[in-house]
C-alpha cells in the first residue's frame, strides 16, 4: 500500500514535507540557462535542458532530506511535448534516488478516458496486449467534479500497481470557496467531495490503515483542515499553501493525527527558488534549496512530533 | 472572436457537429497498425505512427463535412511524451485543413500554474521574453472546481489570441449528478458553475454576441440543457454524449437557440469507429467515418435548422 511507503519514508526522515518541482524557466539560475542555450538554443530544447540540470541539482540536494517530490505537470506541458519528455525523465530520476513522486496533474475525466489517463500516469498503456510505462508516478492528484466516474478508473490503476491518489477536496487558493464552500443540505460541497472519495475507496488498507485515496486540503484554510481531519479519519492529506501562499506550520499541524501521521505538506517556490533570496547569482541553488528544506522541516517539527 | 469563427464554419457547412479524435490504438484498423509496427515496432513509437496515419485519414475525410475536431488529450497522454508529440502534430494538421480545434484537456489549476497550462495550449510559452507555441489549439475545455482562479488565466490567454474556452458545467456521465446536481440555496452546483463562468467573462463579444467562455452540457440530460439554454443566453454549448452515450438528436436540439445557433454536438466513437460496423477489415475507415459524419449531420438537421 503506497501510503504506507510514503508514511515510512516520512518517519525515517522525520520530515512530513514534499518539495515541488515546478519547471519554470524563470526559476532556473542564469548559469544553467546560458549553458543550455549555448548548446540547444533559447527555445523549447534549451529551456528543457536548463530545467533538467536544475531538477537534477535539486533532486541530488534534497533526496536525503525530503521523502517526496511533486512535479507540477502544467509547467512541463507549458513546454510542449519536449516538456513532457523532461517530465518523464525527471520522475524516473527522482524515483531512482528513492524519492516518492506525486505527479500534480489534477486530471478529471470519465470512463475509458479517465482510464487512459490512469494508465499513462500510473499503471502503463496497453499496446497489443503488452504494457508500456511512461510517466509512471507513485501517486497523482485528481479533480472529481465529474463524480465517481472520474475517480474509480484511477483507483483501479492505483490498486493494480500498489499506488495511490489525492483528490482535490478543499484547495488553498483565494477563490476555492466559490464552488467548494457552497452549502448543500448539511454539508459543504468540499465535504461531499471528501465523503464521496472515501466511499469509493472501499475502506482502509495497509499497516497504517489509510484508504487508497488521499485528499488535497489547503493550508490556507486551517479550520477546514481541522474539520476534515475529524471527518476523514483514515485519509492521507496533501497540504499545499505553506510558505509563499501564506500557510504557517501552526496552520498545517491540524492536518496530522495524534501520532504526527497522515499528512504531507508541500512547498514549491520556498525551496526551488531559495537561491533568489541569498543575493547570489544562483550557482548555490542546490545548497540554498537544501537549507530551505531543512528549515521547513524544522519549522514543522516545532508543531508536529512524528512517532 | 473565436466563437464567431466557429459559428461561421458551422453555418457554412450547415453542420453543428464536432468529430472526436480519441487516439486509442484499438480503434485503428489492422492494416495501419501492422504497417506501423513493421517500421517502428509494437510499442509507443509504432502506436503513435499508426494513430497518426489514422488521424490523417480521418481529417482528410472529414474536413469538408465537419467544422471542428476535438482531440481528447487523455488518449495522447496515455502514450507518454511521444503521444503528446503526436497530439501537437495532429492539431497542426487539422488546423492546416481549416478545421477548428477544440483540445479536450479539462485542465483545472490556479494562478501561475493555470497560466502555464493556458500558455501551453493557447497563447504560447514565454522563454527569455520570446513566445513559443506548441499545442496551440483554437479552444480548450476546463474544469472550474477550484473557482475563478482556475478560469481567469485561460480567459486572459484566450482573449490575447482571439481564442475561446468551454468550462465543464453539466457533464454527460452517469455520475455527473453526485456533485453537480447538489442543491445550494436556490441553485444547483452546475448552475452556480455556469453563472460563475459567465460573470468572469465580462459580457458578450463579436458579431454573434457570445461570451468568450462556453459551457459543456451533456446530451444525456436534455432537461438540464433546456434550463441552461434559458439561463445562459449568450453562452456557446459543447454537447457531448450524442450516440454511443445515449443522447439523441431530439435531446440535443434544446442546446440551440431559435436561429439554430450557439451549440456544437460531439461524436467520437460513432464517427472514428464507424468502420467497425461495416463488417470490413478497416481499409474503408475513412469513407466509413465520412458517411457516419454525414448521417449525424442529417440526423441533427431534422431537429435543428441553421439560419
Interface test with A, best of B50, B106, B169 (most A CBs within 10 A): B106
Query: What residues contact residue A96 under an 8 Å CB cut-off, 6+ apart?
Result: none
Share of chain A above pLDDT 70, in %: 100
- Residues B143, A147: C-beta atoms closer than 8 Å: no
Which of A42, A175, A184 lies at the smallest CB-CB distance from B182?
A184
CA–CA separation, A158 vs A155, rounded Å?
Answer: 5
Beta bridge partners of B210: B205
Band of pLDDT at residue A1, cut at 50, 70 and 90: confident
* Mean per-residue pLDDT, A282-301: 97
pTM over the 0.90 mark: yes
**B180-207: burial string, b at 16+ Cβ within 10 Å, e else:** bbbebeeebbbbbbbebbbebbeebbbe
What pLDDT is attached to residue A212?
97
* Mean per-residue pLDDT, A192-214: 95
What pLDDT is attached to residue B234?
95
Instruction: Find chain B residues with C-beta within 8 A of A22's C-beta.
Output: 113
Kindly state whether B246 is in contact with chain A, defined as any CB-CB distance less than 8 angstroms.
no
Kindly state whether A193 is in contact with chain B, defined as any CB-CB distance less than 8 angstroms.
yes
What pLDDT is attached to residue A246?
86
Share of chain A above pLDDT 90, in %: 96
CA–CA separation, B293 vs B65, rounded Å?
Answer: 7
Q: Which residue has the cell 472515501?
A: A198
Report how many Cβ contacts below 8 Å link chain A to chain B: 236
Joined together, the cell numbers standing for residue A78 give 507549458
Band of pLDDT at residue A243, cut at 50, 70 and 90: confident
- pLDDT by residue (tens digit) across B53-86? 999 999 999 999 999 999 999 999 999 999 999 9
- Report A:251-270 residues touching B (Cβ under 8 A): none
- Residues B182, A189: C-beta atoms closer than 8 Å: yes
Joined together, the cell numbers standing for residue B104 give 479536450
Tell me which chain B residue has its CA closest to the CA of residue A85: B81
Joined together, the cell numbers standing for residue A285 give 541553488
Distance of CA B71 to the CA centre of its chain: 7
Band of pLDDT at residue A229, cut at 50, 70 and 90: very high
Residues of chain B with pLDDT under 70: none
Q: Which residue has the cell 517539527?
A: A301
CA–CA separation, B20 vs B141, rounded Å?
Answer: 13
What pLDDT is attached to residue A244?
78
Residue B17: phi and psi, rounded to 5, are -130, 155
CA–CA separation, B81 vs B141, rounded Å?
Answer: 21
CA–CA separation, A35 vs A171, rounded Å?
Answer: 38
How would you classify the pairing of strands B187-188 and B183-184?
A: antiparallel
Instruction: Find chain A residues with C-beta within 8 A of B135's C-beta.
Output: 77, 80
CA–CA separation, B112 vs B154, rounded Å?
Answer: 11
- pLDDT by residue (tens digit) across B149-206? 999 999 999 999 999 999 999 999 999 999 999 999 999 999 999 999 999 998 999 9
Query: What residues contact residue B305 under an 8 Å CB cut-off, 6+ apart?
Result: B260
What pLDDT is attached to residue B1?
75
CA–CA separation, B69 vs B50, rounded Å?
Answer: 19
Q: Give helix A80-96 / helix A44-62 axis angle, nearest 10°.
A: 20
- pLDDT by residue (tens digit) across A154-199? 999 999 999 999 999 999 999 999 999 999 999 999 999 999 999 9
Closest by Cα among B134, B150, B142, B132 to B91: B134
What pLDDT is attached to residue B31?
98
What pLDDT is attached to residue B244?
78
Kindly state whether B88 is in contact with chain A, defined as any CB-CB distance less than 8 angstroms.
yes
Q: Give helix B189-201 / helix B152-161 axis angle, nearest 10°.
A: 40
**B202-208: long-range contacts (C-beta < 8 A, 24 or more apart)?**
B204/B234, B205/B1, B206/B1, B206/B3, B206/B4, B207/B1, B207/B4, B208/B1, B208/B3, B208/B4, B208/B7, B208/B261, B208/B262
- Report B:104-133 residues touching A (Cβ under 8 A): 106-114, 116-117, 119-121, 125, 127-128, 130, 132
CA–CA separation, B144 vs B242, rounded Å?
Answer: 23
Active site residues of B: 106
- pLDDT by residue (tens digit) across A5-52? 999 999 999 999 999 999 899 999 999 999 999 999 999 999 999 999
Q: Give helix A111-118 / helix A152-160 axis angle, nearest 10°.
A: 30
Q: Which residue has the cell 502544467?
A: A74
Q: Using alpha carbons only, what angle is made at residue B107 by residues B101 and B108, rounded to the nearest 5 degrees?
A: 145
Residue B21: phi and psi, rounded to 5, are -120, 85
Kindly state whether B8 is in contact with chain A, defined as any CB-CB distance less than 8 angstroms.
no
Q: Measure in Å the smallest separation between the Cα of B42 and chain A Cα atoms.
A: 7
**B26-45: burial string, b at 16+ Cβ within 10 Å, e else:** ebbbeebbeebbeebebbbe
Kindly state whether A81 is in contact with chain B, defined as any CB-CB distance less than 8 angstroms.
yes
What is the 3-class SS of chain B, one letter each residue? CHHHHHHHHHHHHCCCEEEEECCCHHHCCHHHHHHHHHHHCCCHHHHHHHHHHHHHHHHHHHCCCCCEEEEEHHHHHCCHHHHHHHHHHHHHHHHHCCCEEEEEEEECCCHHHHHHHHHHHHHCEEECCEEECCCCCCEEEECCCCCHHHCHHHHHHHHHHCCEEEEEEECCCHHHHHHHCCEECCEEHHHHHHHHHHHHHCCCECCCCECCEEEEECCCCHHHHHHHHHHCCCCCEEECCECCCCECHHHHHHHCCCCCCCEEEEECHHHHCHHHHCCCCCCCHHHHHHHHHHHHHHHHHCCCCCC
Beta bridge partners of A168: A216
CA–CA separation, B40 vs B82, rounded Å?
Answer: 13
Query: What residues contact residue A207 under an 8 Å CB cut-off, 6+ apart?
Result: A1, A4
| CB of B268 closer than 8 Å to CB of B55 | no
Query: What residues contact residue A295 under an 8 Å CB cut-off, 6+ apart?
Result: none
Q: Which residue has the cell 472520474?
A: A150
Closest by Cα among A272, A23, A19 to A9: A19
- Residues A106, B111: C-beta atoms closer than 8 Å: no
What pLDDT is attached to residue B94?
98
- pLDDT by residue (tens digit) across A91-122? 999 999 999 999 999 999 999 999 999 999 99
- Residues A75, B192: C-beta atoms closer than 8 Å: no
What pLDDT is attached to residue B245?
81
CA–CA separation, B74 vs B85, rounded Å?
Answer: 13
Which of A106, A116, A192 lies at the smallest CB-CB distance from B179?
A192
Amino acid at each position: 500500500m503506497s501510503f504506507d511507503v510514503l508514511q515510512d519514508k516520512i518517519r525515517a526522515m522525520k520530515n512530513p514535507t514534499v518539495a515541488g518541482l515546478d519547471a519554470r524557466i524563470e526559476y532556473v539560475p542564469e548559469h544553467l540557462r546560458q549553458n543550455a542555450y549555448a548548446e540547444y538554443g533559447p527555445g523549447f530544447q534549451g529551456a528543457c535542458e536548463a530545467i533538467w540540470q536544475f531538477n537534477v541539482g535539486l533532486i541530488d540536494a534534497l533526496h536525503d532530506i525530503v521523502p517526496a517530490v511533486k512535479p507540477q505537470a502544467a509547467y512541463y506541458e507549458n513546454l510542449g511535448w519536449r516538456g513532457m519528455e523532461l517530465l518523464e525523465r525527471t520522475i524516473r530520476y527522482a524515483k531512482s534516488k528513492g524519492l516518492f513522486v506525486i505527479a500534480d496533474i489534477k486530471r478529471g475525466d470519465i470512463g475509458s478516458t479517465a482510464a487512459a489517463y490512469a494508465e499513462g500516469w500510473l499503471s502503463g498503456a496497453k499496446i497489443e496486449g503488452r504494457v508500456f510505462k511512461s510517466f509512471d508516478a507513485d501517486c497523482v492528484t485528481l479533480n472529481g467534479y465529474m463524480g465517481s466516474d472520474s475517480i474509480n478508473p484511477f483507483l483501479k490503476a492505483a490498486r493494480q500497481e500498489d499506488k495511490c491518489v489525492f483528490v482535490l477536496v478543499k484547495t488553498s487558493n483565494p477563490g476555492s470557496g466559490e464552488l467548494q464552500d457552497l452549502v448543500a443540505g448539511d454539508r459543504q460541497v468540499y465535504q461531499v467531495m471528501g465523503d464521496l472519495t472515501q466511499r469509493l475507496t472501499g475502506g482502509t488498507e495497509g499497516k497504517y490503515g489509510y484508504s487508497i485515496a488521499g485528499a488535497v486540503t489547503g493550508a490556507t484554510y486551517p479550520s477546514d483542515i481541522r474539520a476534515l481531519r475529524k471527518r476523514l479519519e483514515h485519509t492521507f492529506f496533501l497540504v499545499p499553501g505553506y510558505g509563499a501562499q501564506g500557510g504557517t506550520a501552526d496552520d498545517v499541524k491540524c492536518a496530522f493525527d495524534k501520532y504526527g501521521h497522515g499528512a504531507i505538506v508541500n512547498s514549491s517556490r520556498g525551496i526551488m527558488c531559495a537561491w533568489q533570496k541569498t543575493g547570489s547569482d544562483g550557482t548555490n541553488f542546490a545548497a540554498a534549496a537544501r537549507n530551505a528544506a531543512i528549515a521547513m522541516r524544522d519549522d514543522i517539527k516545532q508543531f508536529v512530533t512524528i512517532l
